A and B are shown apart, each in its own frame.
Chain A
Amino acid sequence: MSAELLLAPAGALLLGAGLLSVVDGRARQAVLLGAPIIALWLVWQADGSAAPLRYMDLLLTPVRADRLSRWFGTIFAFAAFAAGLFALGQKSRLELVASQAYAGAALGVVFAGDLVTLLVFWEAMAIASTLVIWSAGSQARAAGLRYLLVHLLGGTVLMVGIAGHFAATGQAAFDALGPEAPFRWVILAGVLLNAGAPPLSAWLPDAYPRASYSGMVVLSAFTTKTAVYVLLRAFPGEPLLVWIGLFMAFYGIVYAILENDMRRILAYSIVNQVGFMVAGIGIGTELALNGAASHAFAHILYKALLLMSAGSVLAMTGRSRCTELGGLFQSMPVTTTCGIVGALSISAFPLTSGFVTKSMISDAAAMEGLSLVWLLLAAGSAGVFLHAGIKFPWFVFFQKDSGLRPPDPPPPMRAAMVLVSLPCIGIGVLPEPFYAFLPYNAGFVPYSGGHVIGQLQLLLFSGLAFFLLLGLLKRTETITLDTDWVYRRLGPALAARLVPIVARTWSGTESTLTRLAGRGLNALAFSYRSGSLARTRESGTVALIAIAALTLYLIVGYLSAMR
């Protein structure tokens, strides 16, 4: 193994995770913050010239650096730093170790030059992230196990796909898998599972909110975004992704609107946002891919910010239900401000990061003449504003006064929130330097009159819808102002109408399936517990089984010998 490998970006964080498991006090804080900085430096140093590794009959390229991997590497390293700062006071050593290993594994995926290295880090991510969830304590145990099982299922599918791809082509290189590539559907299914795609999206909102106040910040950054990265690299322009992405976007909205727990709202909103990225990858033009990549970048920032804000509330009050919160702006000004910055960014307000990234995807759809897609993306954007842009800050920080007067969180957490707010605004105000590093060659001008006005109208009307529908979801909605407005009004209105129906049907189906599966497993388990298969048997019985087996062999032996 060559020395260059130790200088891989993943190396710094994995080494940091190792150190964190032994050091304490100041040294621990130094590693927590230092390792991501070194990783960030290495992201720009790595040149991918390390000699290929031989493993079994595979040739591996553990480090491959190009614009796309550096793009994701940069934001991952930054997210690891910010999350580390936010978690500076976290007492659970396991969570800190697992978080840093998790971030390291994510960097490993991003810099993997072959599919087997990818798989190795993919599984490492699954384990490390499960530990992040488990470190939150006993209430996270069952959800963590479910999370792990789903990801192992995904890992299984991915591994079969990669093994099949290798068996068919003799190649393990990690590049675009064209329509004729063998086993691409299997690989795609494995990757999509990590992205939170249907039909197994539920793992994400099920498990993430069980993590600690700081754990969820870490979780939100990596798993789904590495999936986006792999889709960008391997499946650009796969038309199916457009519809999967749109489904995810609406799935996230529907459930987020129904949800009461603030962190579950934000978890559903991850599915929703990743849906936009997946749809962008499906459109597949350079502009759309740039949109997906930059939206992933921006999303990591504002989702981390939103979750830090929600995490601060949770850490200071111990509550996370919207109905138990409210009026916190009076005593938590920093948290409130940062939460609002995050909310504006996720809603793609002009002058925030979300605006300059998401508009790329919808513009790409428009340029490709995909008017239905464009329409649905616009309706989806309105939905985002409803659930994450207004609902979260409104219910948590304003609304009725819950009587709680918690102070702002300790300095490191505040510093982390401010640190992440800066690029959320900065990218929105000055997008050009940000665009200069985009992985694909497609220019884009976000601040044209049409964009800004269109987006503002969209936000205004969905904001209006929110307050109108607040408390009276049954209200009928008829006024149409202009044909141009139909979908913009209709989006949120229809959403509000259809939400309960769709959600009820969906969760009904889901729970029926779960119940059936559970019953089958129970029956099987029962046969074990009550002993028919795992019981100690009489020796005579086993001898009889042996005789039966002998008879079987004899019969099939004779039958085949007669042929």
Chain B
Amino acid sequence: MIADHLPALQVAIPLLAAGICAMLRRSVPAWALATATSLVAAAISAWLLARAASGGPISYRLGSWEPPWGIEYRVDEANALLLLLVAGIGAVVMPYARRSVAREIAEESHPWFYASYLLCLTGLLGMSITADAFNVFVFMEVASLSSYVLIALGRDRKALFAAYQYLILGTVGATFFIIGVGFLYVVTGTLNMVDLAARLATVEDVRPVVVGIAFLSVGLGLKLALFPLHYWLPNAYAYAPTVGTAFLAATATKVAIYLLLRFFFTVLGPSFPFAASPIPAIWIALSVAAIILASIAAIHQAGIKRMLAYSSVAQIGYITLGIGIGSEAGLTGAIVHLFNHAVMKGALFLLVGGAILRGGDMNIDALGGLARRMPATFAGIVIAGLSLIGVPGTVGFVGKWLLASAAIEQGQLWLAFAIVGASALAVVYVWRIVEAACFRPPSTEEFAEMPISMLMPAWILTALCIYFGLDTSLTVEVAGRAAALLIGGAAT
């Protein structure tokens, strides 16, 4: 039945659509195809999550080859939530894309943009769904190469430099990752994650595994922009076309974080317990540094997208901090914050994209008059901004509450203060936008409310910032079960 093949279709449909898209030479059909594909992918991921939640993990054998020889796709609640996140963000961003892309990218490049987007979607979904360590690398390359194109299509010439730097560092990251996988392969002779976990338990010489862990940590650290390996991120986000920024910011780093969780808990966890290793201490230190230093950096940015990019580095710090705490509560907090941050940062980039649509890419100081001329956009920015700060009633609060509780549970009171207290820094950078939008004299006559096709998607994400702040059943409960699954290892 077709339902049985949905795990494969989740990846195959965007891949095929990307090929077709590249052959379409016109903007609107390419956009329509990308949008339709995103919606289908989102529907499939929602179905997969429902299945995984009710019936346990789904295992799919590509080409009917038995694992561990063939490639296995494996969907449990941890990656099903991620699939839904990636595909869902895609489905929200695409309807928005047409007007924004028309403004920011030269007409003849539109099909390339949509094709790259679809390839990127394919790669990210593939990284999330596959249970084969080498297959992860393949999809990682698919996603990375296409995202270099997405970024390079930005109008500013600095976009080329940003894409180039991302290319170099992304390649370093991916290479480190595959070297790490190679070390694990050397000692176990297998690439299937479940099989890896089982065989690592019998490994006698642990030194190659230690080296493998080091390479995996740095490789994934680069990919997810863990401080101080984040330097590629601000420029990439700042100069990519808005749609690309919104999509990548909400999804790309999140998938890298998921891989980190998968490798450290499911694959390595049973034989090399994460909590017993020295890695959590390093991560907690780096995460706290990320939260504080990147927030301060955000405060000092002139460009609005760059500021939000630094804020992303800080928010990633919250997520890795939860992982560093390492308990089930910590992982739950990390996964919830991962989901929440995708929603709020997606919303913010889409809303800011409205200002850019009217006024061109801009500095925060040039936002004067925004509040009056684009009230709906501005209201959305305020709500998403409050969420970024972590005000109760928004998703940001839920994440911080869980992370702070997890820190307290581990007796790390100072971490709880750092987690909650750093919101004061977020206040300052969110306030900079609000201040400019409300109090500065209008710098441009161009501001007028976004067209409804852009406003709707932006507001859907904004509304989710509130919705998931009030109704936590999807996020917190699924994340809780996903965390239990990850900590429980591959045995389940």
Contact = CB atoms under 8 A, between A and B. Distances in A.
A536 B239 CA distance: 13
Contact of B297 (A164, A534, A542): A534
A455 to B, nearest CB: 44
Contacts of B435: 141
Interface string B208-227: 00110111011001100000
A123 B400 CA distance: 14
Nearest to B336: A56
B162 to A, nearest CB: 9
Contacts of A434: none
Contact of B408 (A152, A163, A560): A163
Contacts of A116: 392
Given A123-B391, A528-B300, A554-B210, A156 B229 contact: no
B168 interface: yes
A546 B439 contact: no
Contacts of B359: none
A386 to B, nearest CB: 37
A172 to B, nearest CB: 11
Nearest to A150: B424
B404 interface: yes
Contacts of B401: 56, 159, 163
Interface string B309-324: 0100000000000000
Given A148-B427, A553-B213, A553-B214, A561 B168 contact: no
B231 A127 contact: no
B296 interface: yes
Given A56-B476, A556-B282, A543 B417 contact: no
A536 B278 contact: no
B277 A554 contact: no
Contact of A524 (B215, B296, B386, B416): B296
Which of A138, A157, A541, A554 has the most chain B CB atoms closer than 10 A to its own CB?
Answer: A554
Contacts of A163: 401, 404-405, 408, 416
B431 interface: yes
A537 B169 CA distance: 12
Given A163-B405, A545-B229, A127 B169 contact: no
A543 B232 CA distance: 11
A439 B273 CA distance: 56
A167 interface: yes
A156 B423 contact: yes
Q: Is the interface of A mostly helix, strand, loop or mixed?
A: helix
Contacts of A6: none
A553 B391 contact: no
A166 B405 CA distance: 8
A561 B210 CA distance: 8
Interface string B442-485: 00000000000000000000000000001010001000000000
Nearest to B398: A56
A561 B472 CA distance: 41
Contacts, number: 144
Contact of B404 (A55, A159, A529, A545): A159
Contact residue range for chain B?
35 or more
Contact of A167 (B217, B222, B405): B405
B408 A167 contact: yes
Contacts of B408: 160, 163-164, 167-168
A295 to B, nearest CB: 30
A556 B229 CA distance: 19
B231 A536 contact: yes
A160 B169 contact: no
A464 interface: no
B279 interface: yes
A127 B391 contact: yes
Contact of A55 (B232, B386, B472): B472
B161 to A, nearest CB: 8
Contacts of B420: 156, 159-160
Contacts of A534: 234, 297, 300-301, 310
Interface in B135-166: 164-165
B413 interface: yes
Contacts of A445: none
Interface in A498-542: 524-525, 528-529, 533-534, 536-537, 539, 541-542
A55 B472 CA distance: 7
Interface string B105-141: 0000000000000000000000000000000000000
Interface string B268-283: 0000000001110010
A55 B470 CA distance: 7
Contacts of A141: 435, 439
A268 B416 CA distance: 33
A478 B413 CA distance: 54
Given A127-B391, A543-B172, A549-B221, A160 B231 contact: no
Nearest to A560: B278
A550 interface: yes
A549 B424 CA distance: 30
B68 interface: no
A557 B404 contact: no
Given A529-B300, A534-B297, A557 B214 contact: yes
A169 to B, nearest CB: 12
Given A141-B435, A539-B164, 8 more contacts: A56-B402, A119-B392, A160-B420, A528-B296, A533-B297, A542-B231, A543-B172, A554-B214
4 closest cross-chain pairs (CB), A and B:
A553-B214, A120-B392, A557-B210, A534-B297
24 contacts: A55-B470, A56-B398, A116-B392, A124-B393, A141-B439, A148-B431, A152-B423, A152-B427, A153-B424, A163-B401, A164-B416, A536-B234, A542-B229, A542-B232, A545-B229, A546-B169, A546-B173, A549-B229, A550-B214, A553-B214, A553-B282, A554-B211, A556-B278, A560-B278
Interface of B: 164-165, 168-169, 172-173, 176, 206-207, 210-211, 213-215, 217-218, 221-222, 228-229, 231-232, 234-235, 277-279, 282, 293, 296-297, 299-301, 310, 386, 389, 391-393, 398, 400-402, 404-405, 408-409, 413, 416-417, 420-421, 423-424, 427-428, 431, 435, 439, 470, 472, 476
